[in-house]
Structure 1
């Protein structure tokens, strides 16, 4: 039996070829027509020739997603949100990792360009943006998530990291802590800058002098989180509380505490970033600044689809989402 055609699908579904084409290309059709088309496609074992379709329409119904680390729980949850929206619109997703290296990020952007994707959702790995400016010349829609560039005008979806960190550290201070260590990300990363700014704001508001010995800059990895808390806990004047500004550095802190036999919320207080089932299982549960990860993904997907369908407005639109503070007994009350 030869391959089924769009004409045969239309005939079996009792709709026009144009209606089937609209459905295949991700446009909305009447619910009853959608049901008949899907049934016909299944019975006929119809497969879209996306290459030929792309040559005709100059669209491939595919979106590239480029992130620093596919294994990061924050990233995986964002991707889930992206795919929820794209799947509904019959768009496929090509997911790539830059491995936290801007040169690989540049190579992957070029790879996605050659794949003829209709648009790209990018979580930048650093503040280096020269390759992004160069890539913009390709006129491929590009939406940023989690991190933005000061000198690049692109649509983006980010969280209010300044307010999130400010509220978290303020809560630590309310519980009587003044010696608060922070395990921050790389100085060149947008989120790390904002989270550090929130930390400083909270200290300043309570007239607590910033002690640079309590500030550790690390890569967003478990190993670096472990190293940083070890340095902080080796100080003569140890911090009584630690703010780990990333999921993996929070994991590193937990591993160190386990290795050293330290009790969370008693021997040392801990505030982490991003929620996970693991953090809920630990007793006491870990206090965290929660980011709406799936919402970040869905908003980014909607933004890239808007650009691919209607073109860029020429103005950047940065959507800022609220974080949520979850406080538990992992932060000890000193007063």
Structure 2
């Protein structure tokens, strides 16, 4: 059975253009004719129960993010707004601060047809609030089997970080993790890191602090307990021969920057004594340079892909997860050149 992607490919147009034609929105006449011809040629059948075709269609999409203080999310939100505007839809932003009740209220909006769909970035446990007829695409998280997920190639990100640290001379590696402990894509960074170290007989350790995604957003911004955890880790790993590790991979650029600052305060040089690689690849505003050496995930590509998945889900009732968006290493001042 043909899908909306097949129609877009055959007509040589974007998913958004196909969505506009299906939903009766204005597009160029030539585009409209090409899409209609492809629909007929491929015998594409619009699901009569598809959520995008409900009589109470609002053209509003809710975007849930835990905070805008993490630089990754504003980049994603900016791209999402552009993509939705291009197909005649509006964006409603919910800054959840990981407030489960607030997230559930937005999910209820989708169920009651007050928005057409949801793009969700959430670290709360909301599985029981999801229903089979709720159009939602999640970033990084797996909920029900009917909820598509979009994410970077996290396994490759962890593997690549270990490889770069190793090839740049680090021999005792640490993965410092403050992410999720449930069914999510980022945890595969640990798998990639571990597999590379085991394959290459590298001494390594993994320290996991899973609670910071459960309470407020302390793992995304400075907080007292969070900084104390980093300081405690550093001091516990100072031995007679100095700091126990000479290469650290962290779960985010923010964590990497905090560890860098604390190591330097303790008298260690970065990257001469300890190299650090973060994750996200967020650039410093105004310079475009990364705040630390990092594994960059393509925020704009994640956002575009996720919204196209959501539009397909609204129009057809189905969309496949995409969890292999490429990552790359970007050089900052926390690894040796």
> C-alpha separation between the residues in 2 aligned to 1:165 and 1:130?
31
Distance 1:282 1:87, change over 3 A: closer
Structure 1 residue 92 displacement after superposition: 0.7
Q: Helix, strand or coil: the match of 2:187?
A: helix
Distance 1:247 1:122, change over 3 A: same
Distance 1:27 1:305, change over 3 A: farther
Check if 1:293 corresponds to 2:299. yes
Structure 1 residue 189 displacement after superposition: 6.0
Q: Helix, strand or coil: the match of 1:190?
A: coil
Partner residue in 1 for 2:202: 208
> C-alpha separation between the residues in 2 aligned to 1:255 and 1:279?
19
Aligned residue pairs total 285
Give CA deviations for 1:225-284 in whole Å, capped at 9, x if unaligned: 634432332123421122111133234224434655654212421101112332996999
Check if 1:323 corresponds to 2:333. no
Distance 1:225 1:28, change over 3 A: farther
**Contact 1:78/1:297 (8 A) holds in 2:** yes
Partner residue in 2 for 1:71: 69
> C-alpha separation between the residues in 2 aligned to 1:22 and 1:175?
52
Distance 1:196 1:127, change over 3 A: farther
**Scaled by the length of structure 2, what TM-score is found?**
0.72
**Contact 2:289/2:332 (8 A) holds in 1:** no
Give CA deviations for 1:151-173 in whole Å, capped at 9, x if unaligned: 52322221110111101111111
Alignment of 1:28-67 (within 5 A): 28-30=27-29, 57-67=55-65
Unpaired segments ≥5 residues, structure 1:
1-20, 32-53
Distance 1:246 1:207, change over 3 A: same
Partner residue in 2 for 1:45: none
Match for residue 148 of structure 1 among 138, 142, 150: 142
**Contact 1:167/1:325 (8 A) holds in 2:** yes
Partner residue in 2 for 1:4: none
Structure 1 residue 180 displacement after superposition: 1.8
Give CA deviations for 1:123-151 in whole Å, capped at 9, x if unaligned: 2314652222xx33xx23211222223x5
> C-alpha separation between the residues in 2 aligned to 1:182 and 1:114?
43
Q: Helix, strand or coil: the match of 1:180?
A: strand
> C-alpha separation between the residues in 2 aligned to 1:321 and 1:288?
16
Partner residue in 2 for 1:311: 316
Structure 1 residue 87 displacement after superposition: 0.9
Q: Choose between structure 1 and 2: higher helix proportion.
A: 1
> C-alpha separation between the residues in 2 aligned to 1:22 and 1:318?
25
Structure 1 residue 292 displacement after superposition: 0.4
Unpaired segments ≥5 residues, structure 2:
1-19, 31-51, 213-218
Distance 1:267 1:217, change over 3 A: farther
Structure 1 vs Structure 2 CA RMSD? 3.5
Q: Helix, strand or coil: the match of 1:278?
A: coil
Distance 1:230 1:283, change over 3 A: farther
Distance 1:152 1:24, change over 3 A: closer
Distance 1:284 1:108, change over 3 A: closer
> C-alpha separation between the residues in 2 aligned to 1:281 and 1:231?
33
Match for residue 271 of structure 2 among 265, 275, 278: 265
